Every structure is written in C-alpha cells, then in structure tokens.
Structure 1
Amino acid sequence: MKNYPYNVQGLDLHDVCAQFGTPLYVYDAGVIKQQFKNFTKAFSGIDHEIMFAVKSCTNMSIMKYMLTLGAGIDTVSIPEIKMGLKLGFKPEKIVFTPNVVEFCEIRDAVGFGVAINIENLQNLEAFGRKFQNTYPVCIRLNPNMISEIETRTTDLSSLNFASVNKEHYDDVSKEQVEAWHNQSKFGISLTQFDKVLKLVEKYNIKINGVHVHSSHVILNEEVFKKGVKTVFKIAKLFNHLEYVDFGGGIMVKHHPDDKVVELDKIGKILKKEYDKFCVSIGKKIKIWFEPGRYLLSESGILLAKAVVLKTNGFINFVGTNTGFNHLLRPMMYDAYHQIINITNPDGELEKYNIVGNLCEIDNIGVHRTLNKVRQDDIIMIKNAGAYGFSMSSNYNTRPKPAEVLIINGKPRLIRKRENFDDLIRNQIELDF
C-alpha cells in the first residue's frame, strides 16, 4: 500500500477507523490496479484472460472494479455466477469451476451460457448424457505429479477418436511428472484419464479446455515448467481445444522469509512452451488464469482495536475486537499475517500473543514482536484482502465487520457493518 503501514493513499488509518469503526476491512484500489497491471505485463506475450477468483473476495464493488480493469471472473457457485451477470460481466467472461456439486448446478450454469470446468467423472458422464456435443466443456485435471503416470490398463482400441486426437495419446503416458497434488480431492486424476477419453468418445463431448490448478506448483519454476509441458501434451488430445486454464496459485509474500517465484520468469517459461504448443497444433489458443490472492491479498488490511491486555504465566496477551470469525486463515491454515501496532510506532518492542474475542482458542498471531500495545491502540493485520471477509462467519453470534474501498484518495463504504437485526433476520421464532 502507498505509504504503508500508516496511511493508505494519504489517508490516516486512524481517521478511517474513526469514520467507519472497528473491526474494519480496508482495501486499496491502487494496489489492486497495480497487481493487475503486473500480472498482465508478465504474460503480455501470450493471448490470455485474467479470471478473478471471486471466492477470494465476494464483495460486488471489488468485482465491479475488476470488470473496469478488464478481468473476467472465476466462480464456484451459482450465486457467484448471478452476481457476475448482475454486475455486467458477459457470460463468455465467466468460468464456473465448482467442486463436487450436484449436476443440477452444472445444468444451471449451461443455462447462463458461461464456461464450465468439470472435475469428476460422475458429472462428466451426466454432462455427456444431457448435452453430448451441443455445449463445450472444460475438464479439470489433477496431474498427480510426484509419481510417473501409471501404465494404461484400459483397452482403447475400440475408440474412433472423433473428439480425441489419437496421434498424441502415447506422448501423455510416457511423460514423467513431479509435483501437483497427489491426494487432493480437486480435479480428475491422471490415473483415470483413460476413463475421461472413453466418456468423451461415448457421448461425443466437445472438450474445449483443459484446467489444472495447484498453489504449490507455482512455488518452483522448474516444477512449473514440467507441469506446463505435461498439461500441453494432454491438451493436444482434444480437437476442439480453445484454451488451457492454469488456475491460480501465484503466491505473494505474507512472511518476510517467504519465497515466491518471480512472475516475469513464470511468464517467460510459459510463453516459450505456449509458442511451441500453438505451432504443434496449428492454431492459437488462449491461456486463462484465475488469480485471487495475487490480485487482492496485499491490497487489504483488517483493522482491529486492542481492548484487553492481560498476562497469563509468561505470556502477554493482546485481546482484540476481532477473531477467526472475521479472519479464519491463521487458525484454519496456520497462516502468517504480519501484525503492526500503528498507534504507537515508536513504542518499545515487546512480545505478545494477539488473540480474538471468541470463546475458543483464537490466535491471530503468536509470539509476535510489536511496539508496546496499550488499550484502544489500533492493530493492523496485513495481507487480508483475499480469503478474509469471504471466509468470515457469525460464530459466537457476532456481526461481520464493514468493508471500505479507498479509491482516488477517498474511502468508500462497500459493505455495511452487520447489526443485531442482520443476525436474526432469517430465523423463525416458534410459539410455545
């Protein structure tokens, strides 16, 4: 953020808290725009689409801002599709990437005219029975890198390969691969790839895309390169191919010691393989990405107030007016978020456990060194722009915080703070 950590676009964060209260999510539109530019520049040599991962932040104003930047959206539920259409995203700029959902959701997505990623054999077969070759679909694969692709046991001699390019089939089975999720629920395992091809042939399914995603793979440039080669070999099998979707997973630093890949290097690796691939199939295709964290993480902060200071044993606790009901990642993933006392930046450094106000173990940060914290000091939690509010809850019957977007130097309220009426709105009280 500009002039981080004390202000955003010249606005004192204390003034923002005074205006909107705490806890408070604050997003910097300038950072979002710059991250989008960085991403676009890194892949400028490739015909690509940036499909913002809505699940990372479902605020409609953030989504609308992404639309102004030229992004499409990656959605994981029918309501997310409806939000996108309501905001003006065209169906061709929306991709639906659900996980283990009822087929009725996929059927509904077809009705909206959006692109669809199917990640299991059951729904792929249901799709084939229902739509055959009347609607194109993308398959989401789990490349199972770590072990060599298993030897095929299915006899494919009976296939006529109307939708599958048999010429490239043997190339896939020989490829040595190394590191995407091996036991993840996401995607169709390559050990089941023969079954995919049989379903494609059985129902004459029009496969227009191949999708892969793993946050871990893009931590290592060499593994990424091997993964790209493997995915392109798989993609060659489909005669109606229009795009390859590499998902998200491009990391940003949360901890000072975090190692992340250089986006420009990833772009150069992909461009080299992309150019060779397009020549090999005799046409240009698009490359899709579904970034969430990269675009939003650094743009957002969660501001909370220090409300209770206490010592148990040898541990000094800073109790705040937030918790894992507002930012789940530290407790769910053991995720690190830098924490700063912005009210007393010159205070002596002390060790604290920063905790929330829930009746649970509710650690936001453990054994952290902060400038001396006093009651009512404002505590800033960094990298909260992605998977922050979108994963929040009303646990302990506590309302969700407000959200503010700072754009052109002005703070704009983009979500009201919840109140008691919001908490009970959908409950039905019975008479006894």
Structure 2
Amino acid sequence: MTHENLPGQPHLAYRGNELYCEEIRVSDLAKDHGTPLFVYSKGAMLAALAAYQRGFAGRKVQICYAMKANPALGVIEVFAEAGCGFDIVSGGDLERVLAAGGQPGKIIFSGVGKTRAEMRRALEAGIGCFNVESEAELEVLSQVALSLGVCAPVSIRVNPNVDPKTHPYISTGLKDSKFGVAHERVLPTYQRAAKLAGIRVLGIDCHIGSQITQEDPYLDAVERMLDLVEAIEAVGIPLQHIDFGGGLGIDYSGETPPDAGVLWQKLLARLDARGFGQRDLMIEPGRSLVGNAGVCVSEVLYLKPGEHKNFCIIDAAMNDLPRPALYQAFHQIVPLNPRQDVPETWDVVGPICESGDWLGHDRSLAVQQGDLLAVLSSGAYCMSMASNYNSRGRAAEILVEGSQAHLIRRRETMADQMQSERLVGIKSK
C-alpha cells in the first residue's frame, strides 16, 4: 500500500504498511500510551461540524453538541472553541461543559429525570433553556425557579410518534417511548406552562432517535412540529425557537445516512414553505460529529482456533466498547500493519468473563499474536458508556491535531478505581 484512505474515514489512511490518524502513526501512539487506547481526530470532528454549518449558512441556528455521545473534556473543548452550544442530560454534564469553557447561555438541558438539585444548579449557572419532558417536571421546575426568584426558560420536548427506523433501544420519538410529551398533550401542556409563575416559554423541541440513516423520519417530524407550532401560537403563546434535535447516523458498515448539509437544506425548505424560515433554530448533533472521528486501538493477546469458531482475543473488551454487547452493533476492525498472509475468519472477543464480550463476529483477518487492531467508528457511545467491569481501568484517550497528539485522559489505575472505597475493619472471630 502507498496511500489509501479508509472508506468513510478521511482522517485515517494507510501509508505504506502503517495506519495513520491525520499525520501520526497510530502504532506510535499505542507504543507510547499502551492499549486499549482511544484516538480521536480533531480534524474529523471539525469537518463533520462544518457540514452542519454549511447546511445552515445564512440562518439563525445554534448547533448544540449532544455531549452524551462523548463527554471527554478535550472533546467538549473542541466544540466550545468552534462556537457550539451543548445539549446536556445531567448535572455532571453541566459541570463538564463549564469546566471545558462552554458558555452557560448556550446550554440546553434535556432528559426525563432532572432532579431539583440539578435544576437549581442549572438555573444558578444561567443555562439557555430546559427541554422539559413531562407535565410533572414542568411543575417542579417552576417551584425550583420561584425558590431562587427567577423564571426558568423552557421548551417542551414533543413526542411526535414518528418511527425513526433505527434500533428500538435508541428510538425516542414513538408514543411508547419514555421521552417527551405525547403529541395530544402538547397544547394543554403549553397552556399550563404559560400560566406558571416560574416558567418562561421559549420554544419547542423534538428528538426522534439516534443512528437515523433515512431522511423521511426527520421530514415527517418537521411537519408535525410545525403543525404544533401553529396550534400553540394560535392560542397566544409565542415560540422563539424550534429545536429539531439530533440523531443523524454515521457509516458503521456501509450505511448511507443523509449528508448533514443536504438534509438541513431540505428541512429549511419545509420551514420556508410554511412561513417559518426566519425562526431561531436549534439542532443537537452528537454521534454524527464524533462517531467516525475515533478509533479504539487494541493488541491481539491470543489466537484460539476451534472446531466451529476461531477466537481472536484482544485486550479491549465490552467495558471499553459496549455497543456490540448492548445493540449487536457493527464496528469495522482493521489491522494497524496489514499482513500479506491469507486471512482467516475470526470472532474478535475481549477478556471479560461474559459470553457477550465480543467486538466483531466472523471477521476476515490476517492476524498474529501481538498484532495491533483498530476498531473503527468508536468516537461515540464507547468511552461515554465505558465501565470498570471485571475491575478493568478505563482506557486512555488521545486527541490528534495534525502532527500533534494530546493526552486528554490518562489511563485509569487501580488506585483511581479504589480511591473512594473504604474497608470497614471487620475481623473474623
């Protein structure tokens, strides 16, 4: 190989027999920092963000990074410096955004189970908006705001009953979902909000799911949202902004999600046709900004041929990359230094004591013990859902910027894991 970019991964390329991320050999990063290791491309993140910015050029739009996809401070910092706002779902998310330099006024707070303490902290910080997800939450938020002598800025998250055609665990816009206010309850909920002394109605929000690869669900949701905007404003409740959520998918295994710029041009055309073209807009992308920007590097520990299955045992596991175990998700797996040997079929598995600890089934790989593999498209919902299962430390994270590598999270040690635990001093008799 001379210089070959990986499909859908413009920041990754083979040069000779080495896999590079931007201008850095990934094998050098593994040598310096060990494995498992997450490596993110800053250039890939900003390129993904640029697609949204092009699609919304000339419009009043606030792009809010949905940080649940990857909450690393170094990643948040990239988007804060690029002018993004943030979509948070917990008090911990709020503290991370503030620590990384995000502007409180550009934060929107989603999630179905906000506590009074989280509401209070967010109000004190001066966040831009709460996406309220139930009538009960609306009442509590008003009480908390009044106790502080302020009004809480809100939009109400609508459940439009639109099928996003994605995995059921990450579908959030169907009527049986826990998220949002049911379509038929939206108008009375807004009428109640308008009467609450501690509430200031700002907008309306909708989020139908994640890893969406078709444009029709988005456009169906747009039409339902605009119907609701007309109905709400017809009873005298003005809406300052419309928030269309996030959820746009990425290419994990040959999917062809809509180009962000093209999709939003179609969305804007719908808005223009119905007279909402100059309305303030918000969007909450997460996976589509960071998913394909990251890889997880892992070492082959052992090869275990079998009668029916061949197992390639690596040092990354379901605690590092939980998506396959949770969603039967597919991630491409490639060697850092390709061999010319005849490939064999392997199940790529981790060392955790669970049969569900697998990263890829039936993968064709020419591989030997000690080789390094890259699990692609690992920038979203991997480290954000990582755990210490089997007392494994969480991996280190590297942010690559051209020829520079920044350590944005050091590898977790056993001392880190145990620092908040205590022995009780019980002795056997």
Q: Provide TM-score, normalisation by structure 1.
A: 0.86
Is the contact between residue 218 and residue 249 of structure 1 (CA under 8 Å) also seen in structure 2? Answer: yes
Residue 394 of structure 2 is aligned to residue 400 of structure 1: yes
Task: Tell me the equivalent position of 1:52.
Answer: 65
| 1:50 shift after superposition | 1.0
- 136, 142, 145: which one aligns with 2:159: 142
Which amino acid is 1:420 matched to?
A: M
Residue 345 of structure 2 is aligned to residue 331 of structure 1: no
What secondary structure sits across from 1:207 in the alignment?
strand
Residue 274 of structure 2 is aligned to residue 274 of structure 1: no
Instruction: Structure 1: give runs of 5+ residues left out of the alignment.
Output: 147-178
Task: Tell me the equivalent position of 1:91.
Answer: 104
Residue 423 of structure 2 is aligned to residue 423 of structure 1: no
Task: Tell me the equivalent position of 1:2.
Answer: 11
| 1:198 shift after superposition | 4.3
What secondary structure sits across from 2:252 in the alignment?
coil
Structure 1 Cα separation of the partners of residues 211 and 362 of structure 2: 30
| 1:142 shift after superposition | 0.8
Is the contact between residue 141 and residue 152 of structure 2 (CA under 8 Å) also seen in structure 1? Answer: no
Task: Tell me the equivalent position of 1:309.
Answer: 303
Structure 2 Cα separation of the partners of residues 418 and 223 of structure 1: 41
| 1:229 shift after superposition | 1.5
Structure 2 Cα separation of the partners of residues 270 and 345 of structure 1: 46
Structure 1 residues 44 and 346, CA gap change in structure 2 (3 angstroms): farther
User: 22-31 or 88-97: which moved more?
Assistant: 88-97
Structure 2 Cα separation of the partners of residues 221 and 373 of structure 1: 39
Instruction: Structure 2: give runs of 5+ residues left out of the alignment.
Output: 1-9, 164-171
Which amino acid is 2:244 matched to?
A: F
Which residues in structure 2 correspond to 1:239-318 (within 5 Å)? 239-256=237-254, 258-277=255-274, 279=275, 284-318=278-312
| 1:55 shift after superposition | 1.0
Structure 2 Cα separation of the partners of residues 385 and 216 of structure 1: 15
Q: Provide TM-score, normalisation by structure 2.
A: 0.87
User: 104-113 or 287-296: which moved more?
Assistant: 104-113
Task: Tell me the equivalent position of 2:186.
Answer: 193
Structure 2 Cα separation of the partners of residues 26 and 38 of structure 1: 22
Is the contact between residue 40 and residue 293 of structure 2 (CA under 8 Å) also seen in structure 1? Answer: yes
Identity of aligned residues (%): 27
What RMSD in Å do the two structures reach over aligned CA positions?
Answer: 2.1
What secondary structure sits across from 1:215 in the alignment?
coil
Structure 2 Cα separation of the partners of residues 14 and 130 of structure 1: 52
Structure 1 Cα separation of the partners of residues 62 and 69 of structure 2: 18
Structure 1 Cα separation of the partners of residues 207 and 392 of structure 2: 35
Which residues in structure 2 correspond to 1:332-351 (within 5 Å)? 332-351=326-345
**Deviation by residue 1:154-204 (Cα, 9 ceiling, x = unmatched):** xxxxxxxxxxxxxxxxxxxxxxxxx94231111111132254134224426
Is the contact between residue 241 and residue 281 of structure 2 (CA under 8 Å) also seen in structure 1? Answer: yes
- Count of matched residue pairs: 395
What secondary structure sits across from 2:59 in the alignment?
coil
Which residues in structure 2 correspond to 1:164-203 (within 5 Å)? 180-203=173-196
| 1:217 shift after superposition | 9.2
What secondary structure sits across from 1:81 in the alignment?
helix
Task: Tell me the equivalent position of 1:157.
Answer: none
| 1:99 shift after superposition | 2.1
- 118, 138, 141: which one aligns with 2:132: 118
User: 232-241 or 396-405: which moved more?
Assistant: 232-241
Structure 1 residues 247 and 376, CA gap change in structure 2 (3 angstroms): same
**Deviation by residue 1:356-386 (Cα, 9 ceiling, x = unmatched):** 110011111011112x110010011000001
Task: Tell me the equivalent position of 2:82.
Answer: 69
**Deviation by residue 1:72-98 (Cα, 9 ceiling, x = unmatched):** 111111121122122222211111112
